[in-house]
């Protein structure tokens, strides 16, 4: 037995075989070719193989996602059959290129001419050309890539990192857990694991040296331990932990249909956070009363062009329809910081969290902002949508964002388009300056949602992605407790709703205190909805208020922790 | 043989119209070319058609050489006239 240690970022225990998920990025270079015929044959069979793969993908996508979403694979196949594409490659091979280099040359020349055209649709096709030529090149070079969508047997994925495009098509039924080399509590791997409700461990060094694939392991998402070929004692111990955990989870199920109300009758709401429209099923399964944070940036990531208005409209509409009349808070683009978007071509910054990001980009690139607002407003007629601006740091910024929103509304009106005119508009409170003027901001919006991840990082000057200062990232700091109370107080005084969508909302040590402060809505990962609701239902206002007033008097982080955990 | 016409639909020769156009062109034996924006390309290649970036109001010249050239030009002009979006 071998034990590895990482960071547990999503709770649960998994027993399964390891599946190595490694992405290959072949280097394509010009090589001396002795046998041109052989290169032509290689190209021809790679072409056939690619077409077969695309046919299979199309069939699979039709079954799982519907014909419209599957259309992308038909488009890819058309490119493979394109006479100029195929002839161009053959000509290059005939004049001495190796097959993979010939493909790259032709693909690059189409990409170049497409990138000169000022049209969103055409630029989007660049990603398709890249995708299809990469498939062709990998087939020529004999690189067999395993995809998370073809997984047939139960397994735990071991990968360097996981991106939204890796996990979008994965076979969720069979995947029991994740282990990655990089990532933290707020990275995609941990968000997706918590959404599905499977354990995840990140920060395991040299991941591809540790695992060979197929070995049996135990994954402990609580402690971050991984046991390779576990001995009997360890297996028995973990069986017990797992059974207890599952029993607990089953007991929570009765809270699915319940209201979130304390034993003395005070009502709260438990909402869920989602990253894309595929996550909605986890929200409804867990009985969340709404979506408190729809992170729209994932619609913009892992692609070379920006999503169009209609594309966004369809996504927002489908989420709103699935949530029936329950509120869905759509956060406008929050890119930058630790989230990159190729399509925006953002330059590297020395201080990305304090740089060009979120609302700052949107107010600068009004074209992107307006497209998104139009899509949200139009989709708004299909449900109960609310708009939320991230990273607001001054009242001027909020007013500017609202001006753009009004501009878009007027445009839609003059086009006679159907849209949700009285949409509620709120802001994230995550920048210290916004927290301190929350009384003023509250007069200018309909709701607050406290983003604790960034608020703690900014307020205590601790980069949450820097492992060396992780110990200083401390929500028990009395400064954090005071500022949370101040924000909630100001929001309630102005008569607006105050929610919280950061990690703290699902941390059970903080639930009672936040209820005591008067927080209206807790927005948590789908798999934490029931636990949060149970904790609120089991509490009572008198104790919650006492805890809230005691904790405000605490003189140190330790005191805060003691009061929150033990009530003293 | 050649024919000159103006693209009238809103999206131009993009997306679905471009796909339909090059599919239709491929169904003929003749060599068919489109000339627009100063370039001349193979009409049977969707990638080439897209790379012209033909928008609403662009004048295009279709040329066809081969046994079914005149049918091809008629059929393609007819197809273009059905594009509405």
Contact assessment for residue A445 and residue A426, using Cβ atoms and an 8 Å cutoff? yes
What does the block give as tokens for A269?
């709401």
| CATH at residue A233 | 3.50.30.10
Same domain, A222 and A97: no
Contact assessment for residue B60 and residue B36, using Cβ atoms and an 8 Å cutoff? yes
Query: Which of A140, A170, A198 is the last residue in one of the domains?
Result: A140
B1 touches chain A (CB under 8 A): no
Residue A65 confidence class, pLDDT cut points 50, 70, 90: low
The per-residue pLDDT for range A118-132, each reduced to its tens digit, is: 777 787 788 788 888
Structural domain total, chain A: 3
What does the block give as tokens for A469?
């200062």
In a domain, A251, yes or no: no
- CA-nearest of A473, A441, A437 to A454 is A473
Same domain, A471 and A499: yes
Smallest Cβ–Cβ distance between A122 and the set B45, B48, B50 belongs to B50
Domain around B58: 2-82
Best A122, A127, A132, A311 residue to mutate vs chain B (most B CBs within 10 Å): A122
Same domain, A120 and A53: yes
What does the block give as tokens for A13?
């225990």
pLDDT at A27: 85
- CA-nearest of A205, A192, A157, A194 to A177 is A157
Query: Is the pLDDT score of A53 beyond 90?
Result: no
Query: Is the pLDDT score of A537 beyond 70?
Result: yes
In a domain, A10, yes or no: yes
| CATH at residue B49 | 3.30.1340.10
In a domain, A29, yes or no: no
In a domain, A92, yes or no: yes
Same domain, A351 and A487: yes
pLDDT at A402: 98
Contact assessment for residue A180 and residue A202, using Cβ atoms and an 8 Å cutoff? yes
> Buried (b) or exposed (e) across A276-288, using 16+ Cβ within 10 A?
bbbbbebbeebbb
Residue A314 confidence class, pLDDT cut points 50, 70, 90: very high
Same domain, A135 and A191: no
pLDDT at A468: 83
In a domain, A259, yes or no: no
Same domain, A116 and A131: yes
| CATH at residue A59 | 1.10.274.10
Same domain, A370 and A479: yes
Higher pLDDT residue, A60 or A402? A402
- CA-nearest of A168, A145, A118 to A26 is A145
Domain around A7: 2-23+147-245
The per-residue pLDDT for range A540-555, each reduced to its tens digit, is: 999 999 999 999 999 9
Query: Is the pLDDT score of A4 beyond 80?
Result: yes
Same domain, A131 and A151: no
**In Å, what is the CA distance from A149 to each residue of A55, A172, A399?**
15, 8, 45
Are residues A113 and B51, on separate chains, in Cβ contact within 8 Å?
A: yes
Same domain, A100 and A165: no
CB atoms closer than 10 angstroms to residue A361? 21
CA distance A517 to A200: 32
Q: Would you give the DSSP letter of residue A352? A: G
CB atoms closer than 10 angstroms to residue A245? 17
Of A189-193, A359-363, A369-373, A493-497, which range is least confident?
A189-193
Query: Which of A94, A112, A140 is the last residue in one of the domains?
Result: A140
In a domain, A447, yes or no: yes
B14 touches chain A (CB under 8 A): yes
pLDDT at A368: 95
Contact assessment for residue A174 and residue A198, using Cβ atoms and an 8 Å cutoff? no
Name B4's bridge partners: B61
Kindly state the average pLDDT of the residues A89-112: 94
Residue A69 confidence class, pLDDT cut points 50, 70, 90: low
Kindly state the average pLDDT of the residues A302-327: 91
Kindly state the average pLDDT of the residues B2-30: 89
* DSSP H helix total and E strand total for chain A: 23, 17
Query: Is the pLDDT score of A564 beyond 90?
Result: yes
Tell which phi-psi region holds residue B61, choosing left (phi > 0), alpha (psi between -120 and 50) or beta.
beta
Structural domain total, chain B: 1
Same domain, A332 and A427: yes
Kindly state the average pLDDT of the residues A234-245: 95
CA distance A353 to A349: 9
CA distance A344 to A446: 30
Helix (H) or strand (E) run with residue A154 in it:
none
Smallest Cβ–Cβ distance between A122 and the set B42, B45, B53 belongs to B53
Instruction: Work out whether strand A2-5 and strand A7-10 pair parallel, antiparallel, or are unpaired.
Output: unpaired
Q: What is the DSSP string of A216-248?
A: EEEEETTTTEEEES--HHHHHHHHHHHHHHHHH
Q: Please name the residues between 16 and 55 in chain B that touch chain A, using a CB distance below 8 Å.
A: 19, 26, 41-42, 44-48, 50-51, 53, 55
CA distance A329 to A452: 17
* A299 CB-contact burial (10 Å; exposed 0-12 / middle 13-18 / buried 19+): buried
Same domain, A406 and A524: yes
| CATH at residue A462 | 3.20.20.60
% of chain A surpassing 70 pLDDT: 98
Same domain, A51 and A189: no
CA atoms within 13 A of residue A107's CA, in its CB half-sphere: 23
In a domain, A255, yes or no: no
Best B7, B51, B58 residue to mutate vs chain A (most A CBs within 10 Å): B51
Kindly state the average pLDDT of the residues A281-286: 92
């Amino acid at each position: 037995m071998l034990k590895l240690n990482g960071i547990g970022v999503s709770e649960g225990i998994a027993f399964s075989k390891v599946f190595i998920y490694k992405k290959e990025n072949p280097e394509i270079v010009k090589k001396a070719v002795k046998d041109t015929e052989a290169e032509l044959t290689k190209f021809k069979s790679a072409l056939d193989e690619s077409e077969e793969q695309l046919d299979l993908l199309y069939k699979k996508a039709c079954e799982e996602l519907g014909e419209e979403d599957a259309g992308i694979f038909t488009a890819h196949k058309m490119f493979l059959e394109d006479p100029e594409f195929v002839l161009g490659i053959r000509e290059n091979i005939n004049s001495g290129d190796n097959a993979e280099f010939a493909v790259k040359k032709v693909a690059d020349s189409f990409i170049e001419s497409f990138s000169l055209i000022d049209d969103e649709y055409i630029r989007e096709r660049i990603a398709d050309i890249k995708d299809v030529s990469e498939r062709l090149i990998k087939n020529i070079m004999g690189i067999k890539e395993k995809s998370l969508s073809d997984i047939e047997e139960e397994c735990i994925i071991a990968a360097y990192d996981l991106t939204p495009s890796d996990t979008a098509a994965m076979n969720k039924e069979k995947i029991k857990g994740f282990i990655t080399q990089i990532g933290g509590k707020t990275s995609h791997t941990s968000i997706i694991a918590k959404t599905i409700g499977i354990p995840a461990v990140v920060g395991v060094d040299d991941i591809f040296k540790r695992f060979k694939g197929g070995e049996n392991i135990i994954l402990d998402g609580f402690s971050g331990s991984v046991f390779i070929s576990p001995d009997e004692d360890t297996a028995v111990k973990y069986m017990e932990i797992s059974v207890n955990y599952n029993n607990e989870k089953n007991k929570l199920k009765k809270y699915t249909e319940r209201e979130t109300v304390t034993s003395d009758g005070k009502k709260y709401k438990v909402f869920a956070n989602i990253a894309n429209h595929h996550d909605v099923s986890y929200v409804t399964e867990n009985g969340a009363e709404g979506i408190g944070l729809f992170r729209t940036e994932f619609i913009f990531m892992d692609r070379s062009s920006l999503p169009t208005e209609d594309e966004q409209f369809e996504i927002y509409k489908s989420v709103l329809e699935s949530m029936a009349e329950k509120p869905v808070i759509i956060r406008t683009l929050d890119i930058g910081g630790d989230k990159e978007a190729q399509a925006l071509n953002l330059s590297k910054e020395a201080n990305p969290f304090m740089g060009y990001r979120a609302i700052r980009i949107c107010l600068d690139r009004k074209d992107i902002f307006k497209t998104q607002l139009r899509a949200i407003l139009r989709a708004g007629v299909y449900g109960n949508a609310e708009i939320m601006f991230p990273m607001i740091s001054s009242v001027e910024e909020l007013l500017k964002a609202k001006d753009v929103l009004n501009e878009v509304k007027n445009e839609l009106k003059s086009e006679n388009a159907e849209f949700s005119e009285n949409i509620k508009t709120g802001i994230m409170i995550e920048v210290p300056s916004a927290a301190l003027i929350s009384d003023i901001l509250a007069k200018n919006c309909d709701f607050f949602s406290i983003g604790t991840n960034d608020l703690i990082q900014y307020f205590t000057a601790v980069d949450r992605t820097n492992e060396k200062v992780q110990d200083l990232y401390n929500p028990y700091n009395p400064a954090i407790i005071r500022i949370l109370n101040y924000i909630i107080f100001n929001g309630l005084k102005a008569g607006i709703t105050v929610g919280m969508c950061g990690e703290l909302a699902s941390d059970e040590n903080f639930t009672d205190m936040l209820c005591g402060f008067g927080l209206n809505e807790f927005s948590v990962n789908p798999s934490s909805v029931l636990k949060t609701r149970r904790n609120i239902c089991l509490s009572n206002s008198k104790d919650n208020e006492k805890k809230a007033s005691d904790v405000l008097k605490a003189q140190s982080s330790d005191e805060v922790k003691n009061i929150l955990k033990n009530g003293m | 043989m050649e024919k000159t016409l103006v693209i009238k639909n809103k999206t131009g020769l993009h997306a679905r119209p471009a796909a339909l156009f090059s599919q239709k062109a491929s169904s003929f034996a003749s060599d068919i070319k489109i000339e627009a924006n100063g370039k001349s390309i193979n009409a049977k290649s969707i990638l080439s058609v897209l790379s012209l970036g033909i928008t609403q109001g662009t004048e295009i010249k279709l040329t066809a050489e081969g046994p079914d050239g005149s049918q091809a030009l008629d059929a393609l002009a007819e197809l273009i006239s059905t594009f509405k979006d």
